Chain A
């Protein structure tokens, strides 16, 4: 496919910008780790600046890719992982900075660095992509974008849950000092996780509703594997939310659920993507 290499943005390709973004996130990770090892409180300004710079590069990279493919870049595993990391960072920049949860920036840059670097390091994930995957239908594009954005929210939920588990461990084992001292409080993390779960489930519900409105008019086009997995993920998160609101799934168990469910949701992207490749047109695969 003839990818655009515009003269603007220093003539760099989309992947070059995404590499730059990944490196920024990695710098955020290193900065935070160095600061923690020295036993100092994190400098939120520096971490946020590095994340914001990486985010800017990622926006340019994804925008170039989106312009080249004529839509939201969600045509292969590489793009899906990039978009998920972008969603998590977007939400962090909106919610994380507002609620000022100490160390959340560090953990977000860790996650973004890992996800983006892994996706860039595996050439096979970006070797081919399906064109016109939305069939020119903006509603399907919205459905996909909302679904992946909710995955970004769940990524952030996994991070706050992981931080909760660390804090909980430190308090239960009577070791509140050291690097644990910089973590937010149990209650703050729990409240943030609950909010993120509500946002994530709302977005995924909206995504499924938009998708369903389209599918019911064209049943044969429904990818059963994708549908089943997406509904399973949605159901798992919705049940978790219900149990949390009823006070049944709380504290450590709720946090573990947030971490494990995100791992499962991430893993479910592979069979979803693979099943799409196995499907006949409308889309066709283009080697990169």
Chain B
């Protein structure tokens, strides 16, 4: 009787370009259907499908490597992908390497945006779905639970998730540094362009309060306001109503200054004790640089935000070695624990309930 086989099979941004990943991606319906198909593979005892925008991965426990090959075949058939082509972009690991890979994926070390935490939730969701359908067993349960613990430890003991790495999220973090809870804050977005919209959405995703949009073309402002569930404000009212807002995101294409020093001074006279935060994402700049000297006024431009994002990226990158060492220790201990269990999997029923004996 051969020993059981723990494997990971798939493709990610490390192995496949965007055009290929688009063809490989699975939506919720396709994932559910594929899950049903994989459950019928003889000798596949346990499995989980992890599908995100940057990766499709299958984690499995099988009686023999042949089951992994069958998973690949079914996936390629469903996605209308030639297996030989898929193998060019394929990630295929087994045993200890597969365990370590899962731990690194869950901790965000394998993510395109290093140290991001969204992947943790996505792995948890994938595992939850597999568990709900009875596709997990003692090995995957153990491996995934330990992967979650390891990811939490990495986040706590290292600085891998500290600081934001996108301009929009850096802006939101800075606003939190000034206002704390963002729920009561009032935000004004000046300009209806893409970068402004992204920043506004970042604020909304972090629970920011009321949002208003102003643009030279009122219809653009109204359309974006409608998309964002915000209020539209006529452009000419921006300097007049400045005091009513806590955070002003400026991202217009205007060649001249939109917020003058005089307008900021007038606003601060009406609200001296409450800070005013200008996020100037425009080039040329929309906010007079002299406003930064006013009491209780904070001004960050695109360069400032990009520099902080870059510093955070560098700081995260500097933590990789520490994280990998920590996860390798955890993976090693975990592998020593599950290896004996894998020995016993060859005689267990598969995910569909079939009992398979491999001679």
Partner-B contacts on A (CB < 8 A) = 39-40, 167, 170-172, 174, 176-177, 181, 183-188, 190, 244, 247-248, 250-253
Partner of B272, one of A40, A172, A177, A247: A247
B179–A185 CB distance below 8 A: yes
Residue B304 at the chain A interface, CB threshold 8 Å = yes
A187–B178 CB distance below 8 A: yes
Residue B156 at the chain A interface, CB threshold 8 Å = yes
CB distance from B247 to the nearest CB of A (A): 12
Partner-A contacts on B (CB < 8 A) = 156-157, 159, 162-163, 173-174, 176-180, 272-275, 292, 295-296, 298, 300, 304, 307-308, 311-312, 315
Q: Which chain A residues border B177 with CB–CB below 8 Å? A: 167, 170-171, 176, 181, 183, 185-186
Kindly report which residue of chain B lies nearest to residue A176, judged by CB atoms: B177
Can you give 15 contacting A-B residue pairs, CB < 8 Å?
A: A39-B162, A40-B157, A171-B177, A171-B178, A174-B304, A176-B308, A177-B311, A177-B312, A181-B177, A185-B177, A186-B178, A186-B275, A187-B179, A187-B274, A250-B272
Kindly report which residue of chain B lies nearest to residue A180, judged by CB atoms: B177
In angstroms, Cα B176 to Cα A186, docked, is 9
Told that A39-B162, A167-B177, A177-B308 touch, could you supply 8 new A-B pairs with CB distance under 8 A? A174-B307, A174-B308, A181-B162, A187-B179, A250-B273, A251-B295, A251-B296, A252-B295
CB distance from B184 to the nearest CB of A (A): 10
CB distance from A240 to the nearest CB of B (A): 14
CB distance from B325 to the nearest CB of A (A): 16
A176–B173 CB distance below 8 A: yes
In angstroms, Cα B308 to Cα A170, docked, is 12
Kindly report which residue of chain B lies nearest to residue A191, judged by CB atoms: B180
CB distance from B297 to the nearest CB of A (A): 9
In angstroms, Cα B298 to Cα A171, docked, is 8
Q: Which chain B residues border A167 with CB–CB below 8 Å? A: 177
CB distance from A236 to the nearest CB of B (A): 20
A250-B295 in contact given A174-B300, A177-B162, A186-B275 (Cβ < 8 Å): yes
Q: Which chain A residues border B159 with CB–CB below 8 Å? A: 39
In angstroms, Cα B176 to Cα A252, docked, is 18
A186–B179 CB distance below 8 A: yes
B180–A40 CB distance below 8 A: no
Kindly report which residue of chain B lies nearest to residue A167, judged by CB atoms: B177
Q: Which chain A residues border B162 with CB–CB below 8 Å? A: 39, 177, 181
Q: Which chain B residues border A250 with CB–CB below 8 Å? A: 272-273, 295-296
A190–B180 CB distance below 8 A: no
Q: Which chain B residues border A251 with CB–CB below 8 Å? A: 275, 295-296
CB distance from A45 to the nearest CB of B (A): 14
In angstroms, Cα B169 to Cα A47, docked, is 30
Q: Which chain A residues border B295 with CB–CB below 8 Å? A: 250-253
Kindly report which residue of chain A lies nearest to residue B173, judged by CB atoms: A176
In angstroms, Cα B311 to Cα A170, docked, is 14
Kindly report which residue of chain A lies nearest to residue B174, judged by CB atoms: A176
Kindly report which residue of chain B lies nearest to residue A245, judged by CB atoms: B273
Q: Which chain B residues border A39 with CB–CB below 8 Å? A: 159, 162
Kindly report which residue of chain A lies nearest to residue B293, judged by CB atoms: A172
Q: Which chain A residues border B275 with CB–CB below 8 Å? A: 186-187, 251
In angstroms, Cα B273 to Cα A252, docked, is 11
Kindly report which residue of chain A lies nearest to residue B297, judged by CB atoms: A251
Kindly report which residue of chain A lies nearest to residue B182, judged by CB atoms: A185
Partner of A181, one of B157, B163, B180, B300: B163
Kindly report which residue of chain A lies nearest to residue B176, judged by CB atoms: A185
Partner of A177, one of B157, B300, B315: B315
Q: Which chain A residues border B300 with CB–CB below 8 Å? A: 174
In angstroms, Cα B298 to Cα A172, docked, is 7
CB distance from A208 to the nearest CB of B (A): 27
Q: Which chain B residues border A247 with CB–CB below 8 Å? A: 272-273
In angstroms, Cα B71 to Cα A132, docked, is 89
Q: Which chain B residues border A184 with CB–CB below 8 Å? A: 180
Q: Which chain B residues border A244 with CB–CB below 8 Å? A: 273
Most buried by A among B176, B180, B274: B180
CB distance from B177 to the nearest CB of A (A): 6
A187–B298 CB distance below 8 A: no
Kindly report which residue of chain A lies nearest to residue B274, judged by CB atoms: A187
Kindly report which residue of chain B lies nearest to residue A182, judged by CB atoms: B162
Q: Which chain B residues border A171 with CB–CB below 8 Å? A: 174, 177-178, 298
Q: Which chain A residues border B312 with CB–CB below 8 Å? A: 177
CB distance from B320 to the nearest CB of A (A): 15
In angstroms, Cα B162 to Cα A136, docked, is 58
Q: Which chain B residues border A40 with CB–CB below 8 Å? A: 156-157
Most buried by B among A171, A176, A248, A253: A176
In angstroms, Cα B163 to Cα A184, docked, is 15
Kindly report which residue of chain A lies nearest to residue B175, judged by CB atoms: A185
Q: Which chain A residues border B173 with CB–CB below 8 Å? A: 176
Q: Which chain A residues border B296 with CB–CB below 8 Å? A: 250-251
Shortest beta-carbon contacts, A-B, top 3: A185-B180, A247-B272, A188-B180
In angstroms, Cα B331 to Cα A88, docked, is 47
CB distance from B222 to the nearest CB of A (A): 31
In angstroms, Cα B178 to Cα A177, docked, is 13
Most buried by A among B157, B178, B307: B178
In angstroms, Cα B311 to Cα A248, docked, is 37
CB distance from B304 to the nearest CB of A (A): 5
Q: Which chain B residues border A248 with CB–CB below 8 Å? A: 272
B273–A190 CB distance below 8 A: yes
In angstroms, Cα B76 to Cα A195, docked, is 65
